[in-house]
Structure 1
Amino acid sequence: MKRTTTKLVASIGAACAIVATSAIGSAPAQAAEPFDTDGATAPRTPSAVLSAIRADLVASGAASEVATFDRLSADQRLELASYFLDPAVASAVTAAAGAKVLGPGTVRTRGNFEWGAVEPSLSAQDDDRAEGGARAASRSSWGTQWFAFAGIRLTETKVSMSYEYSGATATKMLGYSCTVVRNVQPFTEVRTSKSSGYISGGQATAKCKVVVKRGVPTPWGSIAWSTYSSIQRLSAKGNGGITANRWE
Structure 2
Amino acid sequence: MKQSTNGRIIPIGAACAVVAASVIGAVPANAVATAPAASDEVAPRTPSAVLSAIRAELTASGASSDVAALDRLNADQRRELTSYFLEPDAAAAALADSAERVLGPKTIRTSGDFEWGAVDAASGAVLGEGSAESRAASRSSWGTQWFAFAGIRLTETKVSMSYEYSGTTAKRLLGYSCAVTRNVQPFTEVQTSKSSGYVSGGQATAKCKVTVKRGVLTPWGTVAWSTYSAIQRLSAKGNGAITANRWE
Aligned-partner residue type, residue 232 of structure 2: Q
Taking the aligned partners of 1:39 and 1:62, their CA distance within structure 2 comes to 30
Taking the aligned partners of 1:244 and 1:236, their CA distance within structure 2 comes to 7
Q: 1:111 to 1:233 in 2, by over 3 A?
A: same
Who is 1:128 aligned against?
Answer: 126
Q: Deviation per CA, 1:52-102, whole angstroms, max 9, x where unpaired?
A: 001101111111111111111110001000100011111111222211345
Q: Is the 8 Å Cα contact of residues 39 and 225 (structure 2) preserved in structure 1?
A: no
Who is 2:214 aligned against?
Answer: 214
Taking the aligned partners of 1:22 and 1:184, their CA distance within structure 2 comes to 10
Give the gaps of 5 or more residues in structure 1.
Answer: 1-14
Taking the aligned partners of 2:217 and 2:205, their CA distance within structure 1 comes to 39
Q: 1:25 to 1:159 in 2, by over 3 A?
A: farther
User: By how many angstroms is 1:31 displaced?
Assistant: 3.2
Q: Is the 8 Å Cα contact of residues 192 and 209 (structure 1) preserved in structure 2?
A: yes
Who is 2:236 aligned against?
Answer: 236
Q: Is the 8 Å Cα contact of residues 25 and 146 (structure 1) preserved in structure 2?
A: no
Q: 1:35 to 1:169 in 2, by over 3 A?
A: farther
Taking every aligned residue pair, what percent have the same amino acid on both sides? Answer: 67
Who is 1:58 aligned against?
Answer: 59
* Greater relative CO (CA pairs within 8 A, separation 6+): 2
TM-score, L = length of structure 1: 0.84
Aligned to 1:23, what secondary structure does the other structure show? coil
Q: Is the 8 Å Cα contact of residues 135 and 166 (structure 1) preserved in structure 2?
A: no
Taking the aligned partners of 1:99 and 1:176, their CA distance within structure 2 comes to 29
Who is 2:13 aligned against?
Answer: none
Aligned to 2:139, what secondary structure does the other structure show? strand
Who is 1:10 aligned against?
Answer: none
Aligned to 1:61, what secondary structure does the other structure show? coil
Taking the aligned partners of 2:79 and 2:198, their CA distance within structure 1 comes to 45
User: By how many angstroms is 1:188 displaced?
Assistant: 0.7
Taking the aligned partners of 1:22 and 1:37, their CA distance within structure 2 comes to 20
RMSD: 2.6
Q: What stretches of structure 1 move > 6 A for 4+ residues in a row?
A: 34-37, 130-134
Q: 1:160 to 1:218 in 2, by over 3 A?
A: same
Taking the aligned partners of 1:193 and 1:153, their CA distance within structure 2 comes to 21
TM-score, L = length of structure 2: 0.84
User: By how many angstroms is 1:192 displaced?
Assistant: 0.9
Aligned to 1:156, what secondary structure does the other structure show? strand
Taking the aligned partners of 2:218 and 2:27, their CA distance within structure 1 comes to 26
Taking the aligned partners of 1:135 and 1:174, their CA distance within structure 2 comes to 15
Q: 1:32 to 1:174 in 2, by over 3 A?
A: farther
Aligned-partner residue type, residue 18 of structure 2: A
Q: How many residues align?
A: 231
Taking the aligned partners of 1:37 and 1:128, their CA distance within structure 2 comes to 52
User: By how many angstroms is 1:166 displaced?
Assistant: 2.0
Q: Is the 8 Å Cα contact of residues 115 and 147 (structure 1) preserved in structure 2?
A: yes
Q: Is the 8 Å Cα contact of residues 24 and 230 (structure 1) preserved in structure 2?
A: no
Which has a greater percent of helix? 1
Who is 2:71 aligned against?
Answer: 70
The 5-angstrom pairing of residues 112-191 of structure 1 reads 112-120=113-121, 122=122, 125-129=123-127, 135-191=135-191
Give the gaps of 5 or more residues in structure 2.
Answer: 1-15
Which has a greater percent of strand? 2
Q: Is the 8 Å Cα contact of residues 97 and 109 (structure 1) preserved in structure 2?
A: yes
Aligned to 1:17, what secondary structure does the other structure show? coil
Who is 2:46 aligned against?
Answer: 45
Taking the aligned partners of 1:61 and 1:112, their CA distance within structure 2 comes to 23
